[in-house]
Chains A and B, each alone.
Chain A
Amino acid sequence: MKTLILSALCASCWLLPAHAEENPFLPRRAPAAASAAPSPQRTESVDVSPWKQWLEQTQYTLNQELASRTRAAKTGSAPEAWAILMALAFAYGAFHSLGPGHGKCLICSYFVAEQSTLRQGLVLGYLVAIIHATSALAVVSLLYLLLRGSGQMVLSDATRWTSIAGYGLIAAMGGWLLWRALRPERPHDHTHSHGEECRTECTHVGAHAEPHRGEAHRPLWLMALGIGAVPCPGALTLLMFSISLDFLQLGVVLAAMIALGMGVTTTLMAIATILGRQGTLHMLTQATPVTRARAEKWLRVAGACCTLGLGLTFLTLSL
């Protein structure tokens, strides 16, 4: 019953009102008919925390610097200028992904649901960041190298389809994680040999609370693909800017630096979650095996519900 209440609580997060991210200066996907113009949103602004203000101010400064130095690089720059430009792109990636989004919450949900090692946290954090930037590059390449001038597809269409695919994959992964978390416990078999992970984490109360080594690695790639498939708007904008300067090569290098910067942030979040999960379970070392197994199951269900709920939320907003 408690598990059910918890599941409902976690799943309810996707019922909260949300906005789809859309650049208001670009053509809308579906132009609003004059008669069906939406009524103004009378949201009253709230005071912004100094931290958020500082973060956005820093991004503003980095954005301005990146734009002016990229333009300067077009006309030829000293090697130091290139180094500064790359450092700026790296910093922009790290700071930009400190804000909401960029898959951090999904990564954390996954690592709450799945027992993982710090190395897996590092791998997923960087995989997401790299696929996130690569997706932006793929969208730009599709539009400007393959479909240039054909008018078959515009930027928002391409972004939309990659987003739908990514969020669909995340929702499916969330469903799979939830199924795994809720499936009936199998009798524990001690005739086989346990891996290192299993020796340290297995609760030995009649079921494997966690998958064996190897099985746990498989969803990492799929999660990374799902989360990273949504193109990074920051990298996308930078690539488009470099195309407008007729200097796509530099845009690609800078997008890669942005991905590396984002990887630092996402990896730190992943590692913090893995350590938090381990710490929570460590607190239960004195508890009975049944309590410990129940706590692990709760973590798995909660993480899976968040992954499923967020995947469905973003999928709905993308459609």
Chain B
Amino acid sequence: MARIRYNAWSLMLGIWLSAIAPVQAHPHVFIDYQISLVHQGKQIQGFQLSWRVDPMNTSLIMDAFDTNRNGRLEPTEAAQVADNMRESMAEFEFFTELHLNHRRLPIREARDIHTKLVQQHLVYRLFIPCAIPLQKRPQTLSFKAIDPTNYVAFMPMNRPFHVSNKGQLHYTIERQPKSMYEPLLLKVSLR
């Protein structure tokens, strides 16, 4: 009898746990990304991101925003794409997770959002500001491109990381992302 009860409860637990699974989404949008660390003087200014949307989702986005159906994004249409992104992704911190010395940094905004169509791929460029003063002692900085709802999957491009200005920044790459969900790990310090 005890075994029967055990089996019955195990089965119920299995059902209950499997019932939770469908509320997790799975990727429908695939994005190739590049990161550029922007630095000036003794401070990191933020990250310049480039997102290249897969061709299938590009056609969906174009269908929604290319109102005059000419196959191109006019400035007003591109502005609408950017506004839509600002509105819908702010609550997900623009799918960016930043940690400084293992402490999460808030992402409050994205600036200079630009979009253009490049060979059937819609490319978003956006700047994520985060003021990080550089110190003599090395600090650990990590960057992860991730959608908490798991609707969008981010894939690093071949050489995903660049530094746009090497003023007084000294850095070493501890880990370069090579596939989905992998973070970029840096040691940053004042030169």
Q: Which residues of A contact B (CB under 8 A)?
A: 6, 9-10, 13, 16-19, 21-28, 31-32, 37-45, 48, 53, 56-57, 59-60, 63-64, 66-68, 71, 96, 99-101, 104-106, 108-109, 112, 154-155, 233-234, 237-238, 240-241, 243-244, 276, 280, 283-284, 287, 291, 295, 298-299, 302-303, 306, 309-310, 313-314
Using a Cβ–Cβ cut-off of 8 Å, how many residues does chain B contribute to the interface with A?
Answer: 60
Cβ-defined contact, B23 with A313, below 8 A: yes
B19 touches A40 (CB 8 A): no
Is there a chain A Cβ closer than 8 Å to B62's Cβ? yes
- Shortest CB-to-CB span from B69 to chain A, Å, is 8
Contact among A13, A19, A63, A283 with B19 in the assembled complex (CB-CB below 8 Å) = A13
Among A43, A100, A234, A310, chain B packs the most CB atoms within 10 A around the CB of: A100
9 A-B residue pairings within 8 Å (CB atoms):
A24-B92, A37-B91, A42-B106, A48-B180, A53-B181, A105-B22, A108-B15, A283-B4, A302-B12
Contact B91 A26 (CB under 8 A): no
Instruction: Note all chain A residues with C-beta closer than 8 A to B90.
Output: 37-38, 40
A53 to B151, CA, bound (A): 14
Inter-subunit contact B19/A10 (CB<8 Å): yes
Q: Are A240 and B56 in contact (CB under 8 A)?
A: yes
Q: B35 within 8 Å of A by Cβ?
A: no
**Main SS at interface, chain A:** helix
Task: Across the A-B interface, give the 10 residue pairs with the lowest CB-CB distance, nearest first.
Answer: A99-B26, A244-B59, A18-B23, A13-B19, A67-B55, A38-B91, A43-B148, A241-B56, A24-B88, A237-B56
B186 on interface, CB distance cutoff 8 Å: no
Contact yes or no, B20 A16, CB < 8 A? yes
CB of B152 within 8 Å of the partner chain: yes
Q: Is B139 an interface residue (CB 8 A)?
A: no
Contact in complex: A100, B25 (CB < 8 Å): yes
Instruction: State the CA gap A299–B12 with chains docked (Å).
Output: 8
CB distance from B25 to the nearest CB of A (A): 5
Minimal Cβ-Cβ distance residue in B for A287: B4
Which residues of chain B are near A104, meaning CB under 8 Å? Answer: 22
Q: Nearest B residue to A295 by beta-carbon distance?
A: B8
Q: CA separation between A57 and B30, bound complex, in Å?
A: 10
Question: Residue B59 contacts which of A6, A18, A27, A243 (CB distance < 8 angstroms)?
Answer: A243
Say yes or no for B24: interface residue by CB 8 A criterion.
Answer: yes
B83-100, CB under 8 A of A: which get 1 and which 0? 011011111110001000
- Collect the chain B residues with CB atoms within 8 Å of residue A313's CB: 23
Whether a CB of chain A sits under 8 angstroms from the CB of B76 is no
Residue of A nearest to B10 (CB): A280
Q: CA separation between A40 and B128, bound complex, in Å?
A: 14
Contacts A37-B91, A67-B56, A284-B4 given; does A28 touch B64 at CB 8 Å: no
Q: For B26, what are the chain A residues with a Cβ–Cβ distance below 8 Å? A: 56, 96, 99-101
